[in-house]
Amino acid sequence: MKEREREKKKKMAGCVGQMDSFDSTVEDWATYIERLEQYCVANKIENDRKVAVLLSVMGAKTYNLLRNLLPPDKPASKGFKDIVKTLREHLNPKPLVIAERFRFHNRNQKRTESIPEYIAELRRLSEHCKFGDGLSDALRDRLVCGLLHEGTQKRLLTERDLTLARALEIAISMETAAKDALELQKKTTSECTVNKIETRRPERMPACYRCGKTSHRPDNCWFKVKDCNLCNRKGHIQKMCRTRTNERKSKFKMRNKKVNELNEADSNETDSDEYERGLACLELHTVKDSEHKVMWVTPEVEGQKLRMELDTGSALSIISRKDYQDKFAKVKLRRTSVTLKTYTGGKVVPLGKLKVKVKYENTKRMLDLYVVQNDNVPLFGREWLRNIQLNWQSIKIMKATEKSEQPTPERLKNLFDCFPSVFQDGVGTLAQIKAKIAIEENAPPKFHKARTLPYALRPKVELELKRLEDQGILSKVDWSDWATPIVPVVKKNGALRICGDFKVSVNPVLHTVQYPLPRIEDIFTSLSGGQHFSKIDLAQAYLQMELEESSKKYLTINTHKGLFQYNRLVFGVASAPAIWQRAIDQVLQDIPGTQCYLDDIILTGRDENEHLANLEAVLKRLSEFGLRVNKEKCEFFKDSIEYCVHKIDKEGLHKAQDKMDAVLKAPRPENVSQLRSFLDLVNYYAKFAEECKSPHNFRQGTNTLQPRPALAFSL
């Protein structure tokens, strides 16, 4: 027996390290396999034994998952690489590059986060971004842009040819110096003593508790023999009655003192010990409390949206037993030693706590959620606040929109004030998405000379070229293989627009991007149920989208002032509408009651609050992506709106009268081409014309639509 024990100890002593079972809440599958590989190397485990080791240490939960993924085969019949691949595809699906880059570029340094911790988190986020050789530059840029300390940012921006290593060296040294200076200041302050001069006011006689006056003492008060009209007791008047004062204090506590602190109580402590420690108050609300006095936040808890009261006084987050049974019954309820004490002095012992997955915008955490018996609303406490960075701007807007008594114009103004960058003058820059122009392989370059301009237009063209160059839309170049002549277009207001005639250069050899534009029927379907409508006009839409460096050479224009290269997507390129529509759909995805057709966004809601919430979501998204709108062309909270040459209101989709007048007053077609154009126009509006419900023909000698059952609009 002793020999067996000795052998067992020898074997255990010879094993290096320890492999726990796989836990997805602690690490991902890729990290777990990396540790297992090193474990096998350290213990000299051969390849033929790796499968047995993996199946032994992965745990029952992961093994059952693997069995469910491999039927009818058994896990032991598969190779090591096959098992790893199967579980990796299930547990770690390939992430979207653009989504990962979005998270990367929106990650800023937290207040409690040091520079090394911040750069480590950025490196983790860049894992699936596919930056390639540009990883160091991306980390450097995000580090500089995301720093909390403004002084460090300014110092880094003054550096020429700044590298990632140099940026880290400067940032860490400045952070360390700031901490050391703060400690020195504290030490100096503590060592210095200040002789404070105190001035005393002459003592005043305390107020009489019987009547409230300070001219006499309570023993000499005339009201000491009078009866109180509130409590019917002798010795004071109604305004000084303690019963009334206690009621006021109680109401004040319930209204203002929302301190919801929770302390972990040791199980060995007595009740008196808990009271001596001064357990703070926990206010447990009911759903009947006024909802306009609180702020709300809606995170995803275990994949479900949970509306919670935001309470910065509460140390922990709690839910009622009913919410637990309705929403999270599948989550294991764990024991806890937490003891709560209400402002009335009563004790509340939680039923237990949950370990839940919490998601808010781009943040995901595993956090504790406490369950209580009381039928109170869910509370979002300080523990969650430390781990989850809230969008306070959005919360304040949501709180403002909940006040139904506030008029809509004022609520709109508050909303616009929160996103000033969206309404700024100038051209915005779409972040994270760039346009790419691709041409046919081996297509010969086309260089066209500048066309002759009327002398009257030359000053306006030169002025427009300078404006575009100052805004960074155009760049002067000395030479180019490609060159496109320009076409100046005079607007109704007298201003001039420069357009490139790309149909003679790039468009014939362009790989046209295939992306569908939304149909008016699809747009209207998504807006059904709306009461009011808003329309947002994106300022110079295409010009807000940058071109990739390799695509700029194809969009070179030739003018009387020389060659200019476009840095932004421009009108006239065959692929421009599809490229822009795909990008703007990506920007506005998942926002309800919202549609966009090229540069026009239309949105609605079933009521004012929903409409404002959708509008806020759109403006927030435009602000995040760096887009700007033309406020003068925007319309908000209109009963009806013209969109895509149609009129839309709560009653449905209607014809635009000016367009119908154009059909009815159209001149008589003189040839086949004109007839085709006329029939296309009529067929587009046929669903609105009462006369067009049956086959029609344009009758000889008239300018009206008249029934002709035997004919149809076709050639």
Dump pLDDT digits (tens) for 533-590: 888 888 888 899 999 998 998 999 999 889 999 999 998 898 888 998 899 888 888 8
The pair of three-digit structure tokens given for residue 707, joined into one six-digit string = 């029934």
DSSP string of 513-547, one letter each residue: ---PPPPHHHHHHHTTT-SEEEEEEBTTGGGGSBB
Give rounded-to-5 percent helix, strand, coil for the chain.
Answer: 40, 15, 40
Can you read off the two tokens belonging to residue 331? 């989550």
DSSP structure class, residue 293: G
pLDDT at position 262 is: 44
Distance CA 594, CA 614 (A): 8
| 239 to 205, 209, 220, 236: CA distances (angstroms) | 19, 10, 18, 8
Structure tokens at 488: 């100046």
Do residues 627 and 428 touch, judged by C-beta distance below 8 A?
yes
Nearest 5°: CA angle at 601, between 522 and 396? 120
Which residue is associated with the tokens 């790039």?
A: 506
Report phi then psi at 439, rounded to 5.
Answer: -115, 170
Say if residue 395 is exposed, middle or buried (CB neighbours under 10 Å; 0-12, 13-18, 19+): middle
DSSP reduced 3-state for 484: strand
DSSP code, position 209 = T
The model carries a pTM of 0.43
User: Which residue stretches of the chain have pLDDT < 50?
Assistant: 1, 8, 192-194, 196-199, 250-292, 400-401, 403-407, 690-715
| Through-space distance between the first and last CA atoms of the chain, rounded to whole angstroms | 102
Angle at 353 between CA 349 and CA 357, to 5 degrees: 155
List, for residues 151-198, the tens digit of each pLDDT value. Answer: 888 888 888 888 999 999 998 988 888 887 777 766 555 554 445 444
User: How far apart are alpha carbons 516 and 245 in whole angstroms?
Assistant: 70
Helix (H, G, I), strand (E, B) or coil at 320: strand
pLDDT at position 139 is: 92
How far apart, in whole angstroms, are the C-alpha atoms of residue 631 and residue 619? 12
Q: E strand or H helix at 386, and its extent?
A: helix 382-387
CB under 8 Å to 289, separation ≥6 — which residues? Answer: 377
- The per-residue b/e assignment along 97-133, b for 16 or more CB within 10 angstroms, e otherwise, is eeebbbbbbebebeeeeebeebbebbeebbebbeeee
**Concatenated DSSP letters of 250-268:** HHHHHHH------EEPPTT
Burial of 191 (0-12, 13-18, 19+ CB in 10 A): exposed
Q: In sequence order, what are the beta bridge partners of 96?
A: none
Position 476 scores a pLDDT of 92
Residue with tokens 């895509």: 644
* CB-based contact 406:517 (threshold 8 Å): no
Torsion of Cα atoms, 309 then 278 then 268 then 262, to 10°: 10
Residue ranges in 208-241 assigned as alpha helix (H): none
* Contact (CB, 8 A) for 437 and 568: no
